[in-house]
Chain A
Amino acid sequence: MDDAPAYELRRVSRTYTVGGAQVRAVREVDLVVDRGDFLAVVGPSGSGKTTLLQLLGGLDRASEGAVLFEGRDLGTMRDAELTRLRRTALGFVFQQFNLVATLTAAQNVEAALAPTHLARRHRRERVQELLERVGLDRRLHHLPSQLSGGEQQRVAIARSLANHPRVILADEPTGNLDSDTGGEIVELLRSLARDDAQTVVLITHDATVAGHAHRVVRMHDGRLEAVEPVEEPPGDAAALPNAS
């Protein structure tokens, strides 16, 4: 379904049972994210942003409603299919960077390529290329503990791009960085996504960061409250797509 949007959410809810009580983290969300879109999801802590991102990434399943990725209902896919989808079509960037502490920068990026059975030489070339793109070609063999927070997040971005994903899902990628570094990271993410025509869904509670997006959606108590197009995304004058 080449003409299908990247994502289409139809009255999606996610309910958890915590200590016997039902907690609805996401409530009846309708949302369309077109291909190539750069969407920022903002909202206070506990508003359901991360849960929404996990539903988009196939890391979690909706309790009600449907999450369609390029027209395919993630709810009907088996775990192994979701795993394959994450490996081939999605890239993740986390607030805590989530790098493997025992692996070097290059090995962390290679970790995303390892299950693909790509030849070792090609894996190394791809790793080299990606770390060059994020400006870390001289830090290939450094462990995460030897890198600054910004550098670690660059490694995480390089890792998320390793398999040429069609969508990048970033959960508070600047949450652990100072504002200058955070700005650099978002700009890097935006430019890389633009180069490869990738769709980006970014979660943040930082309005400045959200300002880099094409559109901003606001969440509160699990509900999508508003969709706000950004007037002039920095460095990108492309027309803003519509959201439902």
Chain B
Amino acid sequence: MCSCRVFYVGYMLAELRRRWARTVLTALGLAVGVGLVVVVGALSHGLGRAQDEILRPLTGLGTDLSVSRPVDVSNTSGTQLTPTEQAQLERENASTQNALKNLGKPGSHFVREVFASTSQLSFPASEVRRIRSLDGVEAAVGGLTLSLVHVEGKVPKVVPKPGQPVDPGTAAAGIRNLQISSSTVAGVDVAVKALGAISPAQLRHGRWFGGGHDAIVNTGYASAHGVKLGDTVKLNKHPFTVVGTVEPPLGSQSADIYVRLGQLQALSGRVGRVNRVYVRASSGGAVSRLAGEIPQGLPGASVTTGADLAKRVGGSLVDAKNLTDKLGTALIAVGLLAAVAIAVLLTLASVAKRVRELGTLKALGWPQRIVVRQVTGEALLQGLVGGAFGVAVGIGAAKLVDALGPTLQATVSRTADTQPTGFFSFGQGSIATGSTNVALSAPIEAKVVLLAVVLAVAAGLVAGAVGGLRAARLRPAEALRHLG
């Protein structure tokens, strides 16, 4: 470095020191803008993280698309199902039709458990293989979610007409002390741990499926029914040992009891059939294409993407994120513009106050570029000071947010796919709806700090360029006549 630069830098520093009020004011203006960038950036990052935390279960388990074949039983026109599908539906729910047949002797106590799938048609597991073979699919596994309906009571004394079967509805109407309850049971393909209705990462207590008749229960179900690890739950009279509990996060496919897919298929008489396929795309870009392609091979299929689920997340978290994205960006823009304007105006004011000084330097033979560089350098230094101050203020504000840890709420709404639609559909494979709270943090990213410093330096350069241009235009003779 030329030794003369030491002089110029010393001169710049001396100017900033002596005109400290102007320096502080300019630095404060820049600090406000830079601080806004840092804190809004941190808040945005924190909100993004919080949103990810909420959305991870929706898309997280590695699932980009979820395929099902919903049945809208509220649609009475019957046009939705083909005759084949109608027959399939009747076959699948035949057990429910027969649930109240052959109950035993009139007056005796009876217990019946049946698996029903009224809201989603099952389809062959070969569909899973077909989907897996599609271009853009990284992995695909099948799942089966059914309602286990438990009915018990006393057999009524109904006298059937000769030669006519007992109508279940009539029989049910005559049953005394009839108790009906249901739970949702999901079959999990354990071949791919990171894809499916639940994953080992969701375990709250206990362990993942082993080789036996293991069951993992929802924490809510466990709490409501007093189920503990090691207890036995019976599914259609078959005992399963509770080996773990999971907490299905908001928005995920929820069930009360999870067992291995093969075991549920066998128990429910649906060997080789599934009613949901979980798909992981090889890239984000393939998701929308697959969403259109998958139903072509499975008519009536409903494909839900992570983005579809994400759209259903609302609440103060989403409001805050939207606010940060929109208002935050506007705040940053306004803050930075104001900071640049302040820096430019104060630099111009500084040049105006130093007209005689700058004219004297020109009279002494300072080349134009050195005079401009001097003014620009001072503005740049102010930008750096403002940037450093702004980063400190921004980090402080972010730390304050961390310390206060305000709580934001996220809610997930129902969709038609998950809407309870009838007697046997409650809980079946529904999306876990409701609200959850998440603490807001404001993590500082190095790139945001870097951006803030770059912006501060840029603001200083803009101010310096404007001030330098003004200084460059000064005619020495006019400058020396200046009274300032």
How long is the Cα–Cα vector from A242 to B481 in the complex, in angstroms?
32
A59 and B480 in contact, given A96-B356, A102-B14, A107-B11 (Cβ under 8 angstroms): yes
Report whether A92 and B363 are in contact in the complex, using a CB–CB cutoff of 8 Å.
Answer: yes
Interface centre among A57, A79, A98 (most CB of B within 10 A): A98
Report whether A115 and B370 are in contact in the complex, using a CB–CB cutoff of 8 Å.
Answer: yes
Report whether A92 and B4 are in contact in the complex, using a CB–CB cutoff of 8 Å.
Answer: no
Residues on B with beta carbons closer than 8 Å to the beta carbon of A79? 368
How long is the Cα–Cα vector from A159 to B475 in the complex, in angstroms?
21
A94 and B14 in contact, given A83-B362, A115-B370 (Cβ under 8 angstroms): no
Report whether A100 and B360 are in contact in the complex, using a CB–CB cutoff of 8 Å.
Answer: yes
How long is the Cα–Cα vector from A88 to B477 in the complex, in angstroms?
18
A115 and B4 in contact, given A60-B477, A83-B368, A101-B18 (Cβ under 8 angstroms): yes
Q: Which of B1-28 contact A (CB under 8 A)?
A: 2-4, 6-8, 10-11, 14-15, 17-19
Return the chain A residue nearest B483 by Cβ.
A96
Residues on B with beta carbons closer than 8 Å to the beta carbon of A188? none
Report whether B365 and A111 are in contact in the complex, using a CB–CB cutoff of 8 Å.
Answer: no
Residue A110 at the B interface, CB < 8 A? yes
Return the chain A residue nearest B2 by Cβ.
A117
Interface centre among A90, A96, A111, A117 (most CB of B within 10 A): A111
Residues on A with beta carbons closer than 8 Å to the beta carbon of B367? 80, 83, 115
Report whether A114 and B480 are in contact in the complex, using a CB–CB cutoff of 8 Å.
Answer: no
How long is the Cα–Cα vector from A78 to B246 in the complex, in angstroms?
84
A94 and B362 in contact, given A83-B367, A114-B7, A117-B2 (Cβ under 8 angstroms): no
Q: Which of B454-484 contact A (CB under 8 A)?
A: 475-477, 480-481
A98 and B360 in contact, given A84-B365, A103-B14, A117-B2 (Cβ under 8 angstroms): yes
A102 and B6 in contact, given A54-B480, A59-B363, A92-B364 (Cβ under 8 angstroms): no
Residues on B with beta carbons closer than 8 Å to the beta carbon of A101? 18, 357
How long is the Cα–Cα vector from A102 to B357 in the complex, in angstroms?
11
Residues on B with beta carbons closer than 8 Å to the beta carbon of A84? 365
Residues on B with beta carbons closer than 8 Å to the beta carbon of A87? 364-366
A83 and B365 in contact, given A98-B357, A114-B7 (Cβ under 8 angstroms): yes
How long is the Cα–Cα vector from A123 to B10 in the complex, in angstroms?
15
* Tally of contact residues, A, Cβ under 8 A: 37
How long is the Cα–Cα vector from A94 to B363 in the complex, in angstroms?
11
Residues on B with beta carbons closer than 8 Å to the beta carbon of A59? 362-363, 475-477, 480
B16 CB → nearest A CB, Å: 9
Residue A170 at the B interface, CB < 8 A? no
Residue B361 at the A interface, CB < 8 A? yes
Contact check: which of B4, B356, B363 meets A86 at CB < 8 Å?
Answer: B363
Residues on B with beta carbons closer than 8 Å to the beta carbon of A123? 3-4, 7
Instruction: Please name 17 further chain A to chain B contacts, defined as beta carbons within 8 Å, in addition to the given A102-B15, A117-B4, sorted by A numbering.
Output: A50-B481, A51-B477, A59-B477, A60-B476, A79-B368, A87-B364, A92-B360, A102-B19, A103-B11, A107-B7, A111-B361, A111-B366, A112-B364, A114-B8, A114-B366, A120-B4, A163-B365
**Closest 6 A-B residue pairs measured CB to CB?**
A87-B365, A120-B3, A60-B477, A102-B14, A98-B360, A86-B365
**27 A–B pairs (Cβ distance < 8 Å), ordered by A:** A54-B477, A57-B363, A59-B363, A80-B368, A83-B362, A83-B366, A83-B368, A84-B365, A87-B366, A90-B365, A92-B363, A98-B360, A98-B480, A100-B11, A100-B361, A102-B11, A102-B14, A102-B19, A103-B11, A107-B14, A111-B7, A111-B11, A111-B361, A114-B366, A120-B3, A120-B6, A123-B3
